[in-house]
Amino acid sequence: MKNYPKVAVVILNWNGRFFLEKFLPSVYNSSYPNIEFVIGDNASTDDSLSFVRASYPKITILENTENYGFAGGYNHILSRVEADYFVLLNSDVEVTPNWIEPVIEMLERDTHLVAAQPKILAFHNKAKFEHAGAAGGYLDRYGFPFCCGRIMDKVEYDLGQYDDEKEIFWASGASLFIKSWAWKEAQGLDEDFFAHMEEIDLCWRLKKMGYRIGYCPDSTVYHVGGGTLNASNPQKTYLNFRNNLFMLQKNLPIGQLFTVIFIRFWFDFAALLKFILDRKFKDAWAVSRAHQAFFLHIFKNAKKRKNHIPTENKTGQYKKSIITDFYLDKKQKFSDLDQENFF
């Protein structure tokens, strides 16, 4: 009889009755034999927990005393979960029947492969990749994240062009598989991020420890995206710009840090001007607030830096600027990028 490692599928909920009602059936019907389903609740005020208790009495419910955000919420919940693998799954994700087994099998084959994501397609257009993860995440030299299947706002159709199992730089928090011992060794997510880019920071820290992150095309999920904060929300703009700077300060080698941050300021200033020209004044102010927050936290984040080790794994880092490639060179598909420019 095959020995299946225990998997805990953990959905972080905050006032998410609508998504739980819509997507829990697909998750709960997963075929993996050694599994625990956990709803981690961030102090919801709606009736989502009463719905789960009535409809899914076998699902474990763990409650936080306040809304700690995505990062803090998962840290508090996962400290109370025992399993070989954690799966951080967004509440707005529909899964396919065999979505767990291929990822676990891939992770089991390699002790240095500690985290992975499935193929993430768009729920509202299942022929296309979804913005937050697509076929695996990458990072350019100035800290801008992009995906195989999605560069900036250009999202590709899934035509089987990215159906090879491979190593990536970061796995999406929408459906993140991670070995529990690696989660604990990395000390989970950075709670100061609250939400957005915390999974990229986690993956970067794991890569600096010499570990690998994978993409499993044999598993597919469908993500709504923007279930908590939609793309046009100024708070999302603030968190993305602020957290990106936090992440760079924490993880870049000291020899690159000051140059990259200086150049990023100019990229961000251009974004601020674009928001003003588009009359998105709240988003422009959000960029300004993000930079203010970066300086306010600069000494705190400096203390979080870890020494770079010789085994640091840079696979998935892009040596050029994805911004200039996309807007100036019109390279708008992952296949357009010169693979020699990747570590």
Cα separation, 317 vs 338, in Å, equals 13
Cα–Cα dist 194/73, whole Å: 9
Q: How confident is the model at residue 308 (pLDDT cuts 50, 70, 90)?
A: low
What sign does the CA torsion over 186, 191, 193, 198 have?
positive
The whole-number pLDDT of residue 310 equals 72
Phi/psi of residue 258, each to 5°? -70, -40
CATH of 8-223, one of 3.40.960.10, 3.40.630.30, 3.30.470.10, 3.90.550.10: 3.90.550.10
- CA-based radius of gyration for the chain: 19
As a whole number, mean pLDDT of residues 255-262 equals 96
pLDDT classification of 231: cutoffs 50, 70, 90: low
pLDDT in tens, 309-328: 777 899 999 999 999 999 99
Tokens encoding 37:
């389903």
- For the chain, which residues make up each domain, given as ranges? 8-223, 230-307
Across the range 21-42, mean pLDDT stands at 97
Q: What's CA 322's distance to the chain center, in Å? A: 19
pTM for this one? Answer: 0.96
Read off the pLDDT of residues 58-86 as tens digits, 9 standing for 90 and up: 999 999 999 999 999 999 999 999 999 99
Residue 306: what pLDDT?
A: 84
Q: Is residue 190 over pLDDT 70? A: yes
Distance CA 104, CA 83 (A): 13
Asked if 316 and 213 count as a contact pair (C-beta separation under 8 A), the reply is: yes
User: Band of the pLDDT at 258, cuts 50, 70, 90?
Assistant: very high
- Mean pLDDT of all residues belonging to the chain: 96
Average pLDDT of the residues in 38-64? 98
| Residue 182: C-alpha distances to residues 39, 46, 54, 253, 316 (Å) | 22, 34, 34, 22, 19
Q: What is the band of 143 on the pLDDT scale with cuts at 50, 70, 90?
A: very high
Interval 196-225 mean pLDDT: 97
Task: Grade residue 226 by pLDDT with cuts at 50, 70 and 90.
Answer: low
Q: Which amino acid is at 181?
A: W
User: Tens digit of pLDDT for each residue in 117-126?
Assistant: 999 999 999 9
**Among 174, 171, 164, which Cα is nearest to 222's?**
174
Please tell me the distance from the alpha carbon of residue 201 to that of residue 249, in angstroms, as a whole number.
Answer: 11
Classified as helix, coil or strand, 315 is: coil
